[in-house]
Structure 1
Amino acid sequence: MDLRSFILCYLVVLTAFRCDGSVSVGVTAVGLAGAVFYAGFDKIRCTFYECCSDRADWIKPNITALTVALDSNLYGQHLVHHVVPRALKAHLLNKQPQKALVMSFHGWTGGGKNYVSKFIAESMYKLGMKSQYVHVFVSTVHFPHERMADIYKLNLQDWIRSNVSKCERSLFIFDEIDKMPIGMINGIKPFIDYHESINGVDFRKSVFIFLSNTGGPDITRAMLKMWREGKKRSDITMMDLEHLIQLGAFNEDGGLHKSELIQHCLVDHYVPFMPLERHHIELCARDEIRRRGHTPTKELIEKVAGEMTYFPPENKLFSTTGCKRVAQKVGFILTSEEYDNIFA
């Protein structure tokens, strides 16, 4: 609110009292002035502090930025590139979605599941993962005890309900959902189902992401079979893998085991993260070396990739840890070489 508007509101209040001394008229004027003042204050506040609005671009989805981030940083996951931006765009551009968007990421560790979650948050919120509207739950930290599953479920319901009531465009990320107590995740079913509102709160604009290692063995077996048949990695489709990870998530022990979310078809997209090959590890090593301010020579890149472990034993096609340990390997090798140069 500018100074002119504030003075105008003040004069309205004075005039209301001076005309006939009516308390009701005065109170009405004060209320009107207060409402205008609050609206102005709220607009100013949202200029400097994060708000659940598009003011100052606090929440302004940018699918182009997400696509660029995936193209520049995520290797060997063409299915993720194909599914995630499209799913997010379709949901965020829909002013009245039928339900919350639910994506379940499956695959071996180090394939990029957390990486993609981070890029999604950065494409939705100006503050990225630091936004107050991004909520991350790590099962081994937040839900460690099987016997407390019922208590966790109630607490989780309260947390989701409270935060979505503050901002409909909230993002919830459940990491290590395969280590969550069995049956607990069913507690969020009402919030991702086809309901316009629950107790006056609309959950349909929210986004839920599950991260899990379940399905990893099934994905790998299918890829090995296709590799032996001569099928290229880039030719693998969602049709080849999606049903495998859905069945794996439902049948394997873990948070989604026999889940009502799967039974009632409330997970919109099962996204497979395929095991990474050596040349993908080399690309991750190149990026990490550059990030540390060094020149990524072919010799150095190959040295980092050679420090990783691969499987199966007969052909060593896939990395056992994806790109997860690349940063540590790069740091160790660079430090060792610098140390050797100093004392050479």
Structure 2
Amino acid sequence: MSRTAPLLLLLLLIDPPVFGAVDVSGPAEFKGEHGEEVKDDLWLSGAQEMQGLAQLSWEYMQDLQCWLWPEKCEDKKNHMEWSWRSFGWDSLNLLTDWYAKVLESGDFTRNSINNNLTGLQWDLERRVHGQHLAVRQILTSLERFLHENNQQKTLVLSFHGWTGTGKNLAARIITENLYQDGQRSPCTRVFIPQLHFPHPSHVEAYKVQLRKQIEVVSSACAQPLFVFDEADKLPAALLQSLFPLLHPEETQDARSIFIFLSGVGASMINEVALNFWRAGRHRQEITLDDIDRPLRAEISQSKDQSLTHQLWIKDLISEFVPFLPLERCHVKLCAKDAIEARGLAYSERALESVIQELVFVPKEEKIFSAQGCKQVAQRINFMKL
């Protein structure tokens, strides 16, 4: 029996008569002070949608009962994607199918999109430390995509940089400011290779599920956003189902945003930053041109079949967003943020203690944190402040 079986069995504990008695008629009508008919839309705001949801859920409950115990079911409703012979993938298909119908039955993504570009700029500049290039590129790309009246319906951002430099943080800040519920919004999905696509032998099943999830979100939301963490570790075979989804015609009426986080080109980005430091130049002097051209050259000459290389060949990447390696001052700011997030007061001594626990490279100069700010929060958990 699959892992989702206990969840499905719990659904059966709901008392069927409660849903069977649902009245799915329209809003109630009554007489006003002067005898006119008035629809009680204010009092029943959302009631009809909830009634429809309850009725839909009860219908699927009946289907599920027939699915589990076909010998007790006289009228088998066989959904197109369900199989009565197996219980593994079909339980996931059932839940996915029900979820899709729920989204179609009402506007559950209404008021979910904020597109707060002012808040986005404030959060990026305040929380993503040492990344003037990434912050500028993200703001420019999203503002152009969201505001300009053009035919571009798919924005593909490719984040590149060393681990711990802020790629995940920037992606999370984007979702927090574009959507009311951030990464919990029904308009957003985050995919992690090790979590969502762990077994190479299941790639064919992953391809079907990935395409279906993206299509469901895109059909229900006018502005879906998909984040692929560690995109360079995605199974190569999975790319075949991913590429068509990046074309505007595949997103129907939606304006989709795809963000890929990758370590491809990180060594080249670090080399540029190191050369500036050795030349006595400030990192703020580094421009996008200083990194964009070498980064594209490295990706185009890559001999592997990474996602970034394939996206570049097919000209599907809208913007490359580089993340520079972090210096000691940036790691201190990360430590300060982590301490304040716990509601604690920080001191210079505490910040220095965090720095002393980290590894800095190159071996001679020891300028950049080898893992950026990735281990800062964990270090603070074991410190006495």
More helix by share: 1
Aligned to 1:266: 316
Is the aligned partner of 1:322 residue 2:367?
Answer: no
Q: Per the alignment, do residues 291 and 39 of structure 1 end up closer, same or farther by CA in structure 2, a change over 3 Å counting? A: closer
Is the aligned partner of 1:256 residue 2:307?
Answer: yes
Structure 2 unpaired stretches of 5+: 1-25, 32-36, 38-43, 54-102
Deviation, 1:222, is: 1.9
Q: Per the alignment, do residues 205 and 95 of structure 1 end up closer, same or farther by CA in structure 2, a change over 3 Å counting? A: farther
Query: Relative contact order, CA 8 A, sep 6+: which one is greater?
Result: 1
1:225-245 Cα deviation digits (max 9, x unpaired): 222223320011111112333
Name the amino acid aligned to 1:281. Answer: V
Between 1:169-178 and 1:229-238, the stretch displaced more is 229-238
Deviation, 1:62, is: 0.4
Of residues 339, 363, 366, the one that matches 1:289 is 339
Output the CA distance in 2 between the equivalents of 1:88 and 1:42: 33
Please give the TM-score of this superposition, normalised by the length of structure 2: 0.70
Output the CA distance in 2 between the equivalents of 1:141 and 1:224: 34
Name the amino acid aligned to 1:157. Answer: R
Q: Per the alignment, do residues 272 and 257 of structure 1 end up closer, same or farther by CA in structure 2, a change over 3 Å counting? A: closer
Is the aligned partner of 1:181 residue 2:235?
Answer: yes
Percent identical residues? 34
Aligned to 1:59: 113
Is the aligned partner of 1:114 residue 2:163?
Answer: no
Q: Per the alignment, do residues 152 and 296 of structure 1 end up closer, same or farther by CA in structure 2, a change over 3 Å counting? A: same
Tell whether the 8 Å contact from 1:184 to 1:255 is kept in structure 2 after alignment: no
Moved over 6 A (4+): 37-40, 43-46
Q: Per the alignment, do residues 101 and 257 of structure 1 end up closer, same or farther by CA in structure 2, a change over 3 Å counting? A: closer
Aligned to 2:252: 202
Output the CA distance in 2 between the equivalents of 1:151 and 1:203: 27
Aligned residues: 296
Q: Secondary structure at the match of 1:333?
A: coil
Aligned to 2:221: 167
1:135-163 Cα deviation digits (max 9, x unpaired): 11101121223344344233322221222
Structure 1 unpaired stretches of 5+: 9-13, 15-36, 338-344
Of residues 130, 152, 159, the one that matches 1:76 is 130
Between 1:271-280 and 1:93-102, the stretch displaced more is 93-102
Q: Per the alignment, do residues 62 and 110 of structure 1 end up closer, same or farther by CA in structure 2, a change over 3 Å counting? A: same
Output the CA distance in 2 between the equivalents of 1:212 and 1:257: 8
Q: Per the alignment, do residues 4 and 171 of structure 1 end up closer, same or farther by CA in structure 2, a change over 3 Å counting? A: closer
Output the CA distance in 1 between the equivalents of 2:226 and 2:235: 18
Q: Per the alignment, do residues 252 and 283 of structure 1 end up closer, same or farther by CA in structure 2, a change over 3 Å counting? A: farther
Deviation, 1:39, is: 9.2
Name the amino acid aligned to 1:69. Answer: D
Q: Secondary structure at the match of 1:285?
A: helix
Matches within 5 A, 1:3-18: 6-7=29-30
Deviation, 1:208, is: 0.4
Of residues 278, 291, 294, the one that matches 1:241 is 291
